Amino acid sequence: MGSQGAHTVFKRPDELAAAVVLYVTEYCGFCRMAEGLLRRKGIPFEAVDVTNSDEARSWLVERSGQRTVPQIFIKGNSIGGYTELAALERAGKLAALLAG
């Protein structure tokens, strides 16, 4: 049991300690852009790789209505993907969302 394989247990936002959770895949350029934006702003986040998780992908569609990644949750609430994250930052609303 000690080794970690490709099949890790999918964790929902409320099961993680981070206020910002990104659901990403290995091959997603927008996922890397979202991670980069958060790093530049010094915002801690948890990235959950859902590349090979049908369970996770199904849950994301059910929860967010979207099939694309990244799917970003702030304090358990779906905010959308990279485009929405960048728009929140441009509008000066990202810090307030994290603080509130």
Question: For residue range 46-82, what is the model confidence (pLDDT) as tens digits?
Answer: 999 999 999 999 999 999 999 999 999 999 999 999 9
User: What is the number of alpha carbons within 13 Å of residue 55 lying toward its C-beta?
Assistant: 7
Between CA 22 and CA 28, with CA 23 as vertex, the angle to 5 degrees is 100
Per the listing, tokens 């991670």 go with 35
Q: What is the pLDDT of residue 9?
A: 74
Top pLDDT among 52 and 5 is at: 52
**How far apart, in whole angstroms, are the C-alpha atoms of residue 22 and residue 34?**
8
The two tokens of residue 93 are 């609303």
CB 21 within 8 A of CB 48: yes
Angle at which helices 29-40 and 82-90 pack, to 10 degrees? 30
Q: What is the pLDDT of residue 8?
A: 58
Q: With respect to CATH, is domain 14-99 assigned 3.30.70.1380?
A: no
Determine which of 27-31, 33-37, 65-69 has the lowest per-residue pLDDT on average: 65-69
